[in-house]
Structures are given as C-alpha cells and as structure tokens.
C-alpha cells in the first residue's frame, strides 16, 4: 500500500499553482516562487481556450524525472458554466463509467 509523502504532496501543489499563472509566464516558466520550486522544468507547453477559458500546461521536470500535466481548476464564470453544462461520454476502459 502506498504511503503519504509530504514532499511529493507539496511538489504537486506547486505544479497545480503554476497552472493559475499568466499563460505567458507559464510558457517561460517564470511565475515567481511557484515556478522556482521546480527550476528543472523544461519543454513547457502551455495551453488555453478563450471560449471555455480552460488553462494548463505540460512539461518535463528534469530535477524529479517527471512528466507533468496540470490543469487550472474552475476560476471564471465560463469555467463554471462549462462544468454544469456538460455531456458525459462513455469511458472505454470502464464498463458503465462516464467522464466529463
């Protein structure tokens, strides 16, 4: 059984926090202390959508040998509307499961 690792929990908290930064700062991995937590982040590809106002990034954290994919949580009215107006679709690897 896996055990709780507080250092890993803090790491993923900082990955998540970075997804809330300005999109251009994410692309340059220049979001102050949030990005400084993982100075080895390379190959960062940030993405966003004006319509649904989603935002996130993927990159490689060479210091921890991790591929990171992080999405910003709902933070705008359009995000919340998108959350409430959705059409669940079947998930192929789980009988009877639906995803948003």
Domain boundaries, the chain: 6-99
Full-model pTM: 0.78
pLDDT tens per residue, range 66-99: 999 999 988 888 778 777 777 788 888 889 888 8
The pLDDT score that the predictor gives to residue 52 is 76
87 to each of 8, 82, 90, how far by Cα in Å?
34, 10, 10
């Amino acid at each position: 059984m896996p055990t709780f690792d507080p250092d890993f929990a803090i790491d993923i908290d900082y990955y998540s926090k970075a997804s809330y930064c300005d999109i251009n700062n994410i692309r340059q991995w220049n979001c102050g202390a949030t990005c400084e937590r993982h100075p080895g982040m390379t190959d960062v590809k940030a993405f966003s959508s004006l319509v649904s106002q989603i935002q996130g990034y993927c990159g490689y954290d060479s210091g921890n040998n991790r591929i990171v994919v992080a999405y910003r949580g709902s933070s705008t009215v359009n995000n919340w509307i998108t959350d409430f107006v959705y059409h669940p679709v079947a998930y192929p690897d789980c009988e009877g499961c639906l995803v948003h």
